[in-house]
Amino acid sequence: MFTGIVEEVGEITGLRQSATSTVLGVRASTVLGGTKLGDSIAVNGVCLTVVRLTGDGFEGDVMPETMRRTNLGALKPKSRVNLERAMAADGRFGGHIVSGHVDGTGRIVEVKKDDNAIWYTIQTTPQLMRYIVEKGSVTIDGISLTVAKVAEDNFSISAIPHTVSQTVLKDRKVGAVVNLETDIIGKYVEKLLFKGQPEGITEEMTGAQTIKENAPHKSGEKQQNGITRDFLAKYGF
């Protein structure tokens, strides 16, 4: 398990492809402390197992599915990557629960400054947007960040200068593809509450409304939002 607090930015030293996997070489220093073969290190938010330690870095195997689902497939020698070791049992929980299993990718559609903050707007699929909520947590290229705004097909985060300068966020421009891992707690809650319903959480279940739906109903009253007593009773609570 990780927490989304990047320990250092490493550099890709090489990619060796075989018939079944890709071996990713990474130059690093901080994350090598206490690391041994078989340990896990998150590379841009992707949990990789260390298969070889070199004098100035490590190597990890990347499966074809991981290359397809993440932005690791676009890496080249000298590409910069976020690195984090798996959380120690006695370590500080600085971010949020991060599994290192990327759900998919998003594309940066806007970058803008707001005083000392930098806003990044990221467009992604409906399958991922369903788990992204305002003020909730999301992992972007392995960085634990708070969701500031949510729209229909995109969301925005506001990063402080320190976070940008200490991670690969400072390299990310409009059009860049980033790895996304949504909050695992939301996925477990959906699984437990709506088992057997393949569509998962729907607008009907949550009471979510569009602008059109905010218009008064025939009775002249607005529909009640959120999880209500009637909602809980309907689903067996």
The structural domains of the chain, with segments of one domain joined by +, span 8-85, 104-186, 202-234
The domain made up of 104-186 has a fold known as Elongation Factor Tu (Ef-tu); domain 3 (2.40.30)
8-85 adopts what CATH topology? Elongation Factor Tu (Ef-tu); domain 3 (2.40.30)
In this prediction, residues 220-231 reach a mean pLDDT of 58
Of the candidate ranges 47-56, 87-96, 174-183, 227-236, the one whose mean pLDDT is the lowest: 227-236
Q: pLDDT of 53-76, one tens digit each?
A: 998 999 999 998 899 899 999 999
d(CA 82, CA 172): 12
Q: CA 103 to CA 144: how far, in whole Å?
A: 14
Alpha helix stretches (DSSP H) within 114-178: 126-129, 161-165
String of b and e for 103-124 (b: at least 16 CB within 10 Å)? bebbebeeeeeeeeebebbbeb
Q: What is the mean pLDDT of the chain?
A: 86
| pLDDT value of position 232 | 60
Report which residue type is found at 132: I
Residue 25: pLDDT over 80: yes
Q: What is the pLDDT of residue 178?
A: 98
Q: Which range has the worst mean pLDDT, 28-32, 41-45, 81-85, 224-228? A: 224-228
Pairwise CA distance, residues 203 & 133, whole Å? 14
CB count within 10 Å of CB 53 equals 14
Q: What digits encode the pLDDT tens for the residues 136-186? A: 999 999 999 999 999 999 999 999 999 999 999 999 999 999 999 998 888
135 vs 220 pLDDT, higher one: 135
Residue range 202-212, pLDDT digits in tens: 555 444 433 33
pLDDT for the residue 199: 57
pLDDT at 47: 96
> What is the structure's pLDDT at 225?
55
In CATH terms, are 8-85 and 104-186 the same topology?
yes
**pTM, to two decimals:** 0.80
User: In which band, very low, low, confident or very high, does the pLDDT at 96 lie, cut at 50, 70 and 90?
Assistant: confident
